[in-house]
Chain A
Amino acid sequence: MADEVKKEAPANFKVTIDNITVEVAPGTSILTAARQIGGDVTPPAMCFYSKLKGSGGKCRTCLVEVAAGSTADPRPMPKLVASCRTNVMDGMIVKNITSERVQEARAGVVEFLLINHPLDCPICDQAGECHLQDLSYEHGKEGTRYEFKRRTFEKEDIGPYIQLHMTRCILCYRCTYVADQITDNRVHGILDRGDHAEISTYISKAIDNDFSGNMIDVCPVGALTDKTFRFKNRVWFTKPVDAHRDCDKCCGKVTLWQRGDDVLRVTSRKDEWGEVQSYDSKPGWICNTCRFDKKHAKDWVIEGPTTINRHSVISQGHYLGLQKPKETIAEVMGGREPKLLMDIHGISDVNKVELSELPGPATSKTFTPAPKGE
């Protein structure tokens, strides 16, 4: 009976983020609540990944100001809090883009994240879909004040398919969570401490797990990249296409990154937060067979072009829904085709090598003509 007398906690907590009120279940973090509102109100997140348990709380980019803790205790929180790790209270008032303090602190966080990050973007395969690029573009400062030597590492092969550029790593720990939670035995992790901390495997032990490729997808920067796609093309020159195949190991729903009909890269599908899309509330991780071995369009059932935010560089130059004017020359000329004065494909040296067939990046050997008889 005592239970009935006790006043029950409200089923839903009302939380106000940037003057927008939303009702969420108790135990929801501020970041998740903000994502329910969506748009600019959502704090950026580099380390938090809703599909990986325990992630978050490392990068500090999602800092927000709590102007009022709850209806019961409306005092503001003295410091900015990490929204991915702070749960909402009923009547909480949160300020994100409306707070000057948050914007300033975030610019500082970006500066810290970029302290050791190389200005590698012209080389890096992640450029164009890099979260750190977006973050620093939106929240960072233009210049750097850092004058010291940056932390550098040799690039490392993690298994036959994954390349690790530790220099680019921001230590978000997402990949170790992938290894912990999705693959059955983890062989890589963070070694050393502080400034020396690095992601590695013991004695460069290869990762040969069926789902290890997903750490490429969760990596917010270009630290873990697909070696089968390495330097093949820039992300914005490939066209993303949704496709699926019957796979006994994974959901088989992927995005193909095509150049013409060549499949240069296969990734899992991403949702609006840059995370792996969920199907029936199960994250759609894909297996290494789908990711690395099925590089032919005929392996896949193509569903159609992936919707890309039109502000993204990836949507640049992709003429979707293009309506070409009707070619009337053949009709007028009695069935004769117009004389082509130059066929660009006959003259151009580009697209002569099947890049999608190469297991790794092209080198000077790829382009030198093979000796006769081969």
Chain B
Amino acid sequence: MLTQRAKEVDRKPMTFLESIYLWNIVKGMGITISHLFKKKATINYPEQTRTFSKVFRGLHVLNRDAEGRENCTACGLCAVACPAEAITMEAAERLPGEENLYREEKYAAKYEINMLRCIFCGLCEEACPKDAIYLSQTFAPANYGRKGFIYKKEDLLIPNPVTDKEAYEKALGDKPVKN
């Protein structure tokens, strides 16, 4: 179908000036050289990083409350909400004396996210009733092996705000603390 922009093919034989392509080369080089003075589209990653938008959904973080106790209670709502079925967990009961570690009576003894399956949709964050999981503004780093993408609870937990406040705040990013 012909559009407005469709040109009819010119089948006339080229003149001598046209056949040495001099003008076309100059025109082409002009475009190339003009790009040298334009703003670069790339950055020098990893030295430089781009700022993500506030709503960027990156790597998951398992949150702690202000006293450093884990928020997650292994309710399984993130796993049931996950469309990629990337989350799995095992729950355990808090023993007397572990109250400073876990906020609720039940906690996630094992918590795993398969980052190869994860599609970073953020439904786990929305499903979480305890504000325990959220998607941070970093992405999963590259890895040589597939097994490095199975993130265990140790990989996901945010640093303890009581013992390591600086790292905690860095990991928290722009996320407002609500407890």
**Does any Cβ of B come within 8 Å of A344's Cβ?**
yes
CA distance A347 to B143 in the complex (A): 15
**Does any Cβ of B come within 8 Å of A317's Cβ?**
yes
B93/A363 in contact, CB under 8 A: yes
A123/B79 in contact, CB under 8 A: no
**Does any Cβ of A come within 8 Å of B75's Cβ?**
yes
The one of B76, B110, B112, B146 that contacts A237, using a Cβ cutoff of 8 Å: B76
**Does any Cβ of B come within 8 Å of A359's Cβ?**
no
Q: What is the interface residue range for chain B against chain A?
A: 20 to 34
Contacts of A341 in B (CB 8 A): 146
Contacts of B130 in A (CB 8 A): 122
Contacts of B57 in A (CB 8 A): none
CA distance A346 to B147 in the complex (A): 9
Name B98-140 residues within 8 Å CB distance of A.
Answer: 98, 104-106, 109-110, 112, 114, 129-130
The one of A317, A346, A360, A362 that contacts B91, using a Cβ cutoff of 8 Å: A362
A317/B95 in contact, CB under 8 A: no
CB distance from A306 to the nearest CB of B (A): 18
CB distance from B83 to the nearest CB of A (A): 10
Contacts of B91 in A (CB 8 A): 231-233, 361-362
B80/A364 in contact, CB under 8 A: no
Contacts of A366 in B (CB 8 A): 92, 109
**Residue of A230, A236, A349 ringed by the most chain B CB atoms within 10 A:** A349
Q: What is the interface residue range for chain A against chain B?
A: 20 to 34
B-side binding surface: helix, strand, loop or mixed?
mixed
Given A313-B80, A348-B112: A122 and B104 interface contact (C-beta under 8 Å): yes
A347/B93 in contact, CB under 8 A: no
A123/B73 in contact, CB under 8 A: yes
Task: Name which residue of chain A comes closest to B81, CB basis.
Answer: A316
Given A313-B80, A341-B146: A122 and B109 interface contact (C-beta under 8 Å): no
**Does any Cβ of A come within 8 Å of B59's Cβ?**
no
B95/A367 in contact, CB under 8 A: no
CA distance A349 to B109 in the complex (A): 10
Contacts of A346 in B (CB 8 A): 147
**Does any Cβ of B come within 8 Å of A22's Cβ?**
no
CA distance A362 to B93 in the complex (A): 6
CA distance A361 to B80 in the complex (A): 21
**Does any Cβ of A come within 8 Å of B171's Cβ?**
no
**Does any Cβ of A come within 8 Å of B77's Cβ?**
yes
Task: Name which residue of chain A comes closest to B91, CB basis.
Answer: A231
- CB-CB contacts of A350-363 with B at 8 A, as 1s and 0s? 11010100001111
B79/A363 in contact, CB under 8 A: no
B109/A367 in contact, CB under 8 A: yes
**Does any Cβ of B come within 8 Å of A121's Cβ?**
yes
Given A122-B104, A123-B73, A348-B88: A342 and B146 interface contact (C-beta under 8 Å): yes
B89/A364 in contact, CB under 8 A: no
**Does any Cβ of B come within 8 Å of A127's Cβ?**
yes
Contacts of A35 in B (CB 8 A): none
Task: Name which residue of chain B comes closest to A165, CB basis.
Answer: B105
Task: Name which residue of chain B comes closest to A231, CB basis.
Answer: B91
Interface residues of A (CB under 8 A from B): 121-123, 127, 230-234, 236-237, 313, 316-317, 341-342, 344, 346-351, 353, 355, 360-367
Sample of 20 further A-B pairs with CB below 8 A, known A232-B91, A362-B93, A364-B98: A122-B129, A123-B104, A230-B93, A231-B74, A231-B92, A233-B76, A234-B75, A234-B76, A237-B79, A313-B80, A341-B146, A342-B146, A347-B147, A347-B150, A349-B112, A361-B92, A362-B90, A363-B92, A363-B95, A367-B92
Provide a sorted-by-A list of 24 A–B residue pairs whose CB atoms are within 8 angstroms. A121-B75, A122-B129, A122-B130, A231-B93, A231-B106, A234-B76, A237-B79, A316-B80, A341-B146, A344-B114, A349-B110, A350-B89, A350-B90, A355-B90, A360-B93, A361-B91, A362-B91, A362-B109, A363-B94, A365-B95, A366-B109, A367-B90, A367-B109, A367-B110
